[in-house]
Amino acid sequence: MVKFIATYSLPKGMDGDEFWGYHTGPHAKDYMKIAGPGLIKYVIKRVVKPMVGEQQFFALIEMWWETQEDMDKEMDAARKTTVVSGKTIADDFMDRVTDYRNAIIEEFVVKEP
């Protein structure tokens, strides 16, 4: 299994609630249209209250795929599939955010419910 995470911030002056509506609505729906059966889970998490220090990012994305090949196929489709804005799914999102970072991670579960 491959787990991908990404964080991003919003440009100064952008309304967080408006962007959250875009990310969890049209953007997520557009992505799910190209998602194949290898996408196991897709979670979008918004920072509502930083606990220590200043807020470093607006939201965190987590995605799980069966294989690296599944992930690569979907990421490639996101860079090629056009949405209502006339941009690709990836460009439509990236043009709206700042400080985007991503990584493939290893996970160690300490406790589960």
Q: Does any domain span residue 38? A: yes
- Find the angle CA(43)-CA(46)-CA(50) to the nearest 5 degrees: 135
Percent of the chain with pLDDT over 90: 94
CA–CA distance, 5 with 87 (Å, rounded to integer): 23
Range of the domain at 44: 2-105
Q: Does any domain span residue 110? A: no
Cβ atoms of residues 88 and 81 within 8 Å: yes
pLDDT for 113:
93
pLDDT for 99:
97
pLDDT for 78:
97
Q: Does any domain span residue 90? A: yes
Pairing status of strand 98-105 against strand 59-65: unpaired
* E strand segments, the chain: 2-9, 39-46, 59-65, 98-105
pLDDT for 20:
97
Task: Name the band, by pLDDT with cuts 50, 70 and 90, for residue 37.
Answer: very high
Q: Does any domain span residue 112? A: no
- This prediction has a pTM of 0.90
pLDDT for 81:
98
Mean of per-residue pLDDT scores for the chain: 96
